[in-house]
């Protein structure tokens, strides 16, 4: 065990530290986090529409469905103003967060990022009329502003910002001697860098279109984004990411924070595609989404530590362990694991390394294959990470009662994995306590 911990400290911990210090990745993570209100609002719109449809189809509540039509209409409007424009808002948030990380003009950077994204997607839309497909030029297809264009927003939003930032730091700007209000001075300072950045991104897209006959955004979607999202549906990929999150957390590094750019760009894209498909009455295209980790493995926080708390309260005889568990129980119910992770502690505690890594991996593996067999709906709705277990899976899987059963089974599996190590930790603590050891021996 000690050799394993030393190996992780020598090779894995430095990697995690380096990843956590890359400012671009930090900004990418913060951009996803800042869009949580948009994500939850769009998901609530899906839940309301699904609830009304389920009441009408399965329960025959036609009067209820008729009375709820205004709310359904409002939900449709909310959807169009939030979730259907996810990439649009993300490009704006990314520019802002990059400027925050690299100390630039945040408003100007957000605008440059959004403009760079907008000019990188196709400027035409296709509509169907009497069975024929009609091409409309000089128009944006709104679907490209949804998660379909997320990778384009990341790539060109970042490219536009870094060109802008380089020019801004090089002081390539209009120098005015007059004393202007701050807003006007900031606008003049950002003018030349923003123009250079936007025209540079435009030039890149123009050259690409001339050489390939495609818009860069369309090519990026079909050649990189979709293959990556499909790769993320692989069983091995899902388990690898789960393991890395746990290993990082064991050393006190927020694994979800470090790997958030990967988790969100791949699995959040898949989850958002599921949400869009369900909202339009289609079958969910992806098996595993970003929320699947939360509702089927990370109940109580990373490591499924809610079951560690339950195991301590059920089987531990140590008063200090039980005190920590009682304090951590309420936060753990809402998936806040720091009190038990740092208070027991689990972090850097070799006794708990195996269950801390193993329990989520087993839960993910079991839930993945249950989903493959079609015994539970894939995650189709984004729910807040603080949603308690059982309730969270039920809502995330769009009112699927089978998700409740799966969640309970996962928690029992996790409890079975944690329990032997809790008992062992009691014995180790007693052996290492001279006073207790003396009493038991004599």
The secondary structure of 321-370 as a DSSP string is HHHHHHHHHHHHHTT--HHHHHHTT-TT-GGGHHHHHHHHHHHHHHHHHH
Q: What are phi and psi of 294, to 5 degrees?
A: -65, -45
Query: Residue 91 and residue 33: Cα distance in Å, rounded?
Result: 13
What local confidence, expressed as pLDDT, does residue 441 receive?
34
Mean pLDDT of all residues in 281-302: 88
Encode pLDDT of 204-253 as tens digits: 988 988 888 888 877 888 888 888 889 999 999 999 999 988 888 887 77
Query: Residue 413 and residue 427: Cα distance in Å, rounded?
Result: 23
Return the bridge partners of 136, or none. 125
Q: What letter does residue 125 receive in the DSSP assignment?
A: E
Residues 6+ apart with CB under 8 A from 220: 151, 152, 155
What local confidence, expressed as pLDDT, does residue 2 receive?
61
Mean pLDDT of all residues in 432-440: 41
Q: What are phi and psi of 8, to 5 degrees?
A: -65, -40
How many DSSP H helices and E strands does the chain contain? 23, 2
Query: Residue 315 and residue 32: Cα distance in Å, rounded?
Result: 40
Please answer whether residues 201 and 116 qualify as being in contact, where contact means their C-beta atoms are separated by less than 8 angstroms: yes
With bands split at pLDDT 50, 70 and 90, how would you rate the model's confidence at 354?
confident
Encode pLDDT of 180-207 as tens digits: 777 777 888 888 999 999 999 999 988 9
Please answer whether residues 290 and 268 qualify as being in contact, where contact means their C-beta atoms are separated by less than 8 angstroms: yes
Query: Residue 161 and residue 79: Cα distance in Å, rounded?
Result: 29
H helices within 21-105, ranges in order?
23-34, 36-58, 62-67, 69-81, 86-102
Q: What is the CA radius of gyration of the chain?
A: 25
Query: Residue 381 and residue 369: Cα distance in Å, rounded?
Result: 20
Classify 135 as helix, strand or coil: strand
Task: Report which of 114, 142, 54, 167 is spatially closest to residue 399, judged by C-alpha positions.
Answer: 54
Instruction: Report whether pLDDT(433) > 60.
Output: no
Q: What letter does residue 264 receive in the DSSP assignment?
A: I
Stated length of the chain: 442
Please answer whether residues 392 and 295 qualify as being in contact, where contact means their C-beta atoms are separated by less than 8 angstroms: yes
Task: Report which of 14, 93, 415 is spatially closest to residue 251, judged by C-alpha positions.
Answer: 14
Please answer whether residues 395 and 414 qualify as being in contact, where contact means their C-beta atoms are separated by less than 8 angstroms: no
What local confidence, expressed as pLDDT, does residue 11 receive?
60
Mean pLDDT of all residues in 76-91: 86
Q: What are phi and psi of 126, to 5 degrees?
A: -115, 130
Handedness of CA 403, 404, 407, 408 (dihedral sign): negative
Return the bridge partners of 129, or none. 132
Q: Using CA atoms in the order 163, 166, 171, 175, what is the torsion angle rounded to 10 degrees?
A: 20
pTM: 0.75
With bands split at pLDDT 50, 70 and 90, how would you rate the model's confidence at 111?
very high
With bands split at pLDDT 50, 70 and 90, how would you rate the model's confidence at 350?
confident
Query: Residue 397 and residue 404: Cα distance in Å, rounded?
Result: 9
H or E element, residue 407: helix 401-432
What local confidence, expressed as pLDDT, does residue 442 receive?
27
Classify 163 as helix, strand or coil: helix
Query: Residue 353 and residue 7: Cα distance in Å, rounded?
Result: 13
Instruction: Report whether pLDDT(110) > 90.
Output: yes
Per-residue DSSP letters for 202-262? Answer: HHHHHHHHHHHSS-HHHHHIIIIIHHHHHHTTSHHHHHHHHHHHHHHHHTT--HHHHHHHH
What is the CB-side half-sphere exposure of residue 391 using CA atoms within 13 A?
9
Mean pLDDT of all residues in 422-440: 59
């Amino acid at each position: 065990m000690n050799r394993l911990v030393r190996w992780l400290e020598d090779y894995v911990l430095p990697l995690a530290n380096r990843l956590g210090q890359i400012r671009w990745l930090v900004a990418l993570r913060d951009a996803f986090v800042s869009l949580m209100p948009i994500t939850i609002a769009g998901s609530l719109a899906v839940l309301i529409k699904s609830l009304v449809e389920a009441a009408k189809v399965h329960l025959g509540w036609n009067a209820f469905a008729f009375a709820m039509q205004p709310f359904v209409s409002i939900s449709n409007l909310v959807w169009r103003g939030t979730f259907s424009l996810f990439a649009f808002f993300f490009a704006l948030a990314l520019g802002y967060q990059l400027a925050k990380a690299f100390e630039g003009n945040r408003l100007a950077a957000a605008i440059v990022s959004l403009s760079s994204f907008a000019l990188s997607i196709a400027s035409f839309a296709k509509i169907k009329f009497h069975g024929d497909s009609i091409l409309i030029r000089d128009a944006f297809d709104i679907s490209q502003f949804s998660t379909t264009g997320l990778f384009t927003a990341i790539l060109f939003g970042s490219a536009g910002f870094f060109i802008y930032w380089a020019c801004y730091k090089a002081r390539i700007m209009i120098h005015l001697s007059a004393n202007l209000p701050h807003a006007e001075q900031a606008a003049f300072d950002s003018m030349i860098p923003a123009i250079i950045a936007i025209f540079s991104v435009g030039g890149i897209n123009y050259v690409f279109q001339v050489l390939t006959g495609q818009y860069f955004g369309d090519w990026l979607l079909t050649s990189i984004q979709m293959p990556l999202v499909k790769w993320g549906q692989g069983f091995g990929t899902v388990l690898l990411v789960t393991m890395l999150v746990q290993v990082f957390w064991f050393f006190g590094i927020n694994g979800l924070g470090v790997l958030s750019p990967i988790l969100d760009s791949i699995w959040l894209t898949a989850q958002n595609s599921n949400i869009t498909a369900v909202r339009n009455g289609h079958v969910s295209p992806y098996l595993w989404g970003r929320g699947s980790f939360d509702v089927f493995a990370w109940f109580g926080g990373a490591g499924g530590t809610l079951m560690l708390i339950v195991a301590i309260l059920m089987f531990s005889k140590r008063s200090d362990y039980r005190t920590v568990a009682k304090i951590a129980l309420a936060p753990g119910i809402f998936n806040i694991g720091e009190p038990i992770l740092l208070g027991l502690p689990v972090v850097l505690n070799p006794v708990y390394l195996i269950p801390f890594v193993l329990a989520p991996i087993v839960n993910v593996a079991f839930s993945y294959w249950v989903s493959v067999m079609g015994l539970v709906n894939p995650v189709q709705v984004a729910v807040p990470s603080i949603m308690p277990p059982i309730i969270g899976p039920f809502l995330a899987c769009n009112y699927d009662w089978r998700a409740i059963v799966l969640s309970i089974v996962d928690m029992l599996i996790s409890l079975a994995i944690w329990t032997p190590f809790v008992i062992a930790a009691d014995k180790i603590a007693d052996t290492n306590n001279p006073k207790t050891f003396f009493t038991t021996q004599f």
